[in-house]
Structure 1
Amino acid sequence: MKGFFRALYEVIGLPQPPSETPVYRDVIFPNIGLLNLGITLALLVLFYLVINRWMRVATFSRPSHWSILLVLNAVIAFIIVIAQVNGQNVVEHSYMYWLALLNAIYAALFFFLFSLVFRKLSVNASTTPF
């Protein structure tokens, strides 16, 4: 898993300053990657299964509602990186914010891709986001 997340997050370059690279590779990348996937899946379960299948809230099944959760997922993913980096006592650098932005983009991408699977499980939102 570390190798997968390392390849995913080092797209923007190696962590700066270089002395922090092992902390990013061994701790931060796997943590934010797993949290990103977990929170994305939790929000999708909430939207498609809890709200739009079991509760059958037909008024919360529009693409605008889906977009709200997509943006919320991206914001949470951004905040997770800042919290993880600060929790590891890594030197604050611009790389941290670029990593947070990249993680937010990945969160939105994962949310969209997993939506294509989860929407089939919903009663009211089976056509959302399309």
Structure 2
Amino acid sequence: MLQSFFTALYQALLGNPDPSSLIPVYRQSIFPGVGLTTFFVALAMALLFYVVLNRVVTTSFFKTQHWAIMLLLTAVLGAIVAWQQAAAAVEAQLAETGEELAVAQVSTLKRYLWGFTATNTLVAVLFFILCSFAVKSLSVSARTTPVRWPN
């Protein structure tokens, strides 16, 4: 179920991978793996902000600016996850099949990887926002960060 969700999400935002010989590796390995990893990274960052920093440690790290810093860190981690996992899977697939890409195909592949990285950065931001609303009630001092709703 998650494999089809993340595959549909990324393909709706990006279209089919290019070159077309890499479509199976994207659908079976990259899209679900990166999507799930990104979700867990966003959840971990939200738990770090709301539970660890604002409940267990009780720091003064509870303002909207601090939440924005965590959002930015989540976005950066989402970009790193996407680039590293996708590039490693593509290289492994090309090495396994022994396929050589033409210069134009390499350029197209890099462009698609950059687009995938940017898209996953936005997905990480969205996941962090959703996770923030889900776990902010666990916090003592940051229950109203970034907004008061639904409290």
Q: Establish whether TM, by shorter chain, passes 0.5.
A: yes
Question: What do you get for the CA RMSD once the two structures are aligned?
Answer: 1.1
- Which residue does the alignment assign to 1:62? 63
Distance 1:5 1:117 in 2: 20
TM-score by length of 1: 0.94
TM-score by length of 2: 0.82
- After TM superposition, the structure 1 = structure 2 runs for residues 1-130 of structure 1, keeping only pairs within 5 Å, are 1-11=2-12, 12-57=14-59, 59-88=60-89, 89=91, 92-130=109-147
Distance 2:41 2:142 in 1: 20
Distance 1:86 1:113 in 2: 28
1:46-92 Cα deviation digits (max 9, x unpaired): 100011011111x1001101000101101111111110122111654
Distance 1:81 1:110 in 2: 14
Unaligned stretches of 5+ in structure 1? none
Q: What percentage of aligned pairs have identical amino acids?
A: 40
Q: Which secondary structure does the structure 2 equivalent of 1:93 belong to?
A: helix
- Which of structure 1's runs of 4+ aligned residues deviate more than 6 A? none
Distance 1:93 1:54 in 2: 43
Distance 2:132 2:46 in 1: 7
Letter in 1 for 2:110: H
Distance 1:96 1:64 in 2: 31
Unaligned stretches of 5+ in structure 2? 95-105
